[in-house]
Amino acid sequence: MDIAVIGAGHVGLVSAACLAAVGHPTRVLDIDETRIEQLRSGRSPFLEPGLDELLVWGLTHEQLSFHTDPSAALSQADLVFLCVDTPNDARGSVDLSAVVSATRTAVRHVKDGAVVVNRSTAPVGTAEYIRSILEEQRGDVVDVAVNPEFLAEGTAVRDFLAPDRIVVGVWHGGTADSLYAVYEPIITRRLPSMAGDDVHQRVAGGTELVPFLVSNPSTAELTKYAANAFLAVKISFINEIASIAEELGGDVTVIAHAVGLDRRIGPHFLRAGIGWGGSCFPKDILALQGMAETRGLAARMLRAANEVNAQQRHWVVQMLQRHLKTLVGRRVGLLGLTFKPNTDDLRNAPALEIAAELSHLNARIQAFDPVVKSLPPPFDQMIEVTEDAVAAARGAEALIVVTEWPEFGQLDLAALRSVMRGSLLVDGRNFVDPESARDAGFDYLGVGRVGTPAFSVKIREGATGSGGE
Ligand code: UGA
């Protein structure tokens, strides 16, 4: 199949690089010339493990190319994937202008019989809208489909090549057949050899086909929102249990582990902490809430999930206030700035929200992140970005673990403690071993385990793995 992808952002690039890797000639179109130039040299504009390798492979084997000229990118394509931004306003109303503009570009350049596939997360009814634009100008010679993405940053290549399911929404069975043909190597788990070990490990031993679910477009559109909303609600649920555990004297990490071993619940997305951020959950939960509320539905669960999430950020500040009394002039060190590890994405990063609150209380903030070396305004004025973790701890009254970067597991806690003025370690991700922290001289506070006496709870059973991903 000949593929075109409009939009060289996270979803577009990962999708394009993976589709090229499984054997489809793929062209990527974007209006950002600088980005396209950079991509032609095989460098991704953002951090995504495994992506650069696929880009280089695709370019060298002439399976992947990057364009700013729509005709060069689109005119031969059998399928055109729309992977553009769909930002929200504060009330959840989604801005579809990029989808409309990409559709208008497609309508001018695609051949008869092509399929325009919307992969951008967009409200129910967007595919219908795209179809109306296409029909207006081309009649019924160009078909439309929906194919939501389930790519998490940091594991996006693995999520594309070894997915849990593929969902498509179509008006005609023949369109589903075309999409099946595109995904056939992935459905039958024929992985490209250059895919990383994590991808191969995920499919190892599995012989079952990847479920390929075909529905109408509205169902596919809503499925995407339902998936993200469920994950966000699951995190907020365990965060609510964490607050209760804190008051009553339980350890939420043990509770989550025990609860997650129930196969009806599962271990994933039960890590209590300072809450969800990123470019997807906050936006999609609000959009789904907006869709429900404009139909007179209350969307109580979504509202509650949002409220719990906001409280989780505030928990950090509450802990500091409780233990340091005043924050005026106090130096606070942050470990981690990105919204999660293995990405350089700062969108809706808890670190920035916490820093803004601390800064408002006149605290002085210094932060270390393995990949973020400078910050955009106004955060560049609020946060001093340091060279290493020790510099972020130097002179601080308190140190906060904000992002669970794997390298933070190797930190020399005693060295950090020795350069600090205070002894408070607020572990916003329950990532540091409390016992090691206390041995290093810290007063350790984790989320949902504050009231727990030291060393009272241990997991003793033989099963491995806790908390999930
Ligand atoms: C999310 C979904 O996981 C993807 O399936 C989806 O395709 C994507 O949104 C999207 O809509 O494009 P992403 O935002 O990259 O992916 O990251 P997640 O791994 O889902 O994490 C989201 C947030 O939840 C992070 O801030 C993370 O720290 C937090 N989280 C996650 C927790 O606080 N606890 C957990 O147990 C898991």
pLDDT tens digits, one per residue of 63-90 = 999 999 999 999 999 999 999 999 988 8
pLDDT given for residue 194 in this prediction: 84
Task: Please say whether the beta carbons of 403 and 340 come within 8 A.
Answer: yes
Stretch 242-270: mean pLDDT, rounded? 95
Task: Please say whether the beta carbons of 361 and 328 come within 8 A.
Answer: yes
Q: How confident is the model at residue 197 (pLDDT cuts 50, 70, 90)?
A: confident
pLDDT of 50 above 50: yes
pLDDT given for residue 459 in this prediction: 62
The total number of structural domains that make up the chain: 2
Stretch 160-178: mean pLDDT, rounded? 97
In a domain, 96, yes or no: yes
Q: Whose CA is nearest to atom 18 of ligand 1?
A: 152
pLDDT tens digits, one per residue of 354-371 = 999 999 999 999 999 999
CA of 465 to the centre of ligand 1 (A): 19
Contacts of 353 (CB under 8 A, 6+ apart): 277, 313
Residues 284 and 339 grouped into a single domain: yes
Structural domain of 44: 3-215
Return the minimum-mean-pLDDT range out of 181-185, 200-204, 272-276, 361-365: 200-204
Residues 77 and 172 grouped into a single domain: yes
The amino acid at residue 451 is G
* Residue among 14, 54, 245, 280 flagged as catalytic: 280
Stretch 179-202: mean pLDDT, rounded? 91
Q: How confident is the model at residue 468 (pLDDT cuts 50, 70, 90)?
A: very low
pLDDT of 37 above 80: yes
pLDDT tens digits, one per residue of 320-357 = 999 999 999 999 999 999 999 999 999 999 999 999 99
Q: From the CB of 212, is ligand 1 less than 6 Å away?
A: no
In a domain, 272, yes or no: yes
Q: From the CB of 269, is ligand 1 less than 6 Å away?
A: yes
Residues 234 and 207 grouped into a single domain: no
Using CA atoms, how far residue 316 sits from 209, 214, 385, in Å, is 44, 44, 19
The CB density around residue 271, as the number of other CB atoms within 10 Å, is 24
3-class secondary structure per residue, the chain: CCEEEECCCHHHHHHHHHHHHCCCCEEEECCCHHHHHHHHCCCCCCCCCCHHHHHHHHHHCCCEEEECCHHHHHCCCCEEEECCCCCECCCCCECCHHHHHHHHHHHHHCCCCCEEEECCCCCCCHHHHHHHHHHHHHCCCCEEEECCCCCCCCCHHHHHHCCCCEEEEECCHHHHHHHHHHHHHHHCCCCCCCCCHHHHHHHCCCCCCCCEEEECHHHHHHHHHHHHHHHHHHHHHHHHHHHHHHHHCCCHHHHHHHHHCCCCCCCCCCCCCCCCCCCCHHHHHHHHHHHHHHCCCCCHHHHHHHHHHHHHHHHHHHHHHHHHCCCCCCEEEEECCCCCCCCCCCCCCHHHHHHHHHHHCCCEEEEECCCCCCCCCCHHHHEEECCCHHHHHCCCCEEEECCCCHHHHHCCHHHHHHCCCCCEEEECCCCCCHHHHHHCCCEEEECCCCCCCCCCCCCCCCCCCCCCC
- The pTM for the full model equals 0.94
Q: From the CB of 306, is ligand 1 less than 6 Å away?
A: no
Q: Which two tokens stand for residue 251?
A: 């350890």
Residues 341 and 371 grouped into a single domain: yes
pLDDT of 453 above 80: no
In a domain, 394, yes or no: yes
Residues 211 and 239 grouped into a single domain: no
Q: Which two tokens stand for residue 42?
A: 């095989």
Residues 210 and 255 grouped into a single domain: no
Residues 210 and 247 grouped into a single domain: no
Q: From the CB of 119, is ligand 1 less than 6 Å away?
A: no
pLDDT of 451 above 60: no
Residues 111 and 257 grouped into a single domain: no
In a domain, 465, yes or no: no
pLDDT of 410 above 70: yes
Which of 94, 118, 119, 235 is the best mutation target for the ligand 1 pocket, counting ligand atoms within 8 Å of the beta carbon and taking the most? 235
pLDDT given for residue 458 in this prediction: 60
Q: How confident is the model at residue 457 (pLDDT cuts 50, 70, 90)?
A: low
CA of 152 to the centre of ligand 1 (A): 6
In a domain, 460, yes or no: no
Using CA atoms, how far residue 114 sits from 27, 66, 83, 383, in Å, is 15, 20, 17, 50
pLDDT of 461 above 80: no
Per the annotation, the verdict on 83 as an active-site residue is no
In a domain, 67, yes or no: yes
Which of 228, 288, 311, 345 is the best mutation target for the ligand 1 pocket, counting ligand atoms within 8 Å of the beta carbon and taking the most? 228
Percentage of the chain exceeding pLDDT 90: 90
**Domain CATH number, residue 175:** 3.40.50.720
Residues 194 and 267 grouped into a single domain: no
Q: How confident is the model at residue 138 (pLDDT cuts 50, 70, 90)?
A: very high
Domain boundary among 193, 215, 237: 215
Residues 242 and 205 grouped into a single domain: no
Residues 196 and 233 grouped into a single domain: no
pLDDT of 409 above 80: yes
pLDDT of 455 above 80: no
Residues 115 and 203 grouped into a single domain: yes
Please give the Cα distance from 335 to 437 (Å, whole number).
15
In a domain, 306, yes or no: yes
In a domain, 224, yes or no: no
Task: Look up tokens 């100008």; give the residue.
Answer: 137
Average confidence score pLDDT of the chain: 94
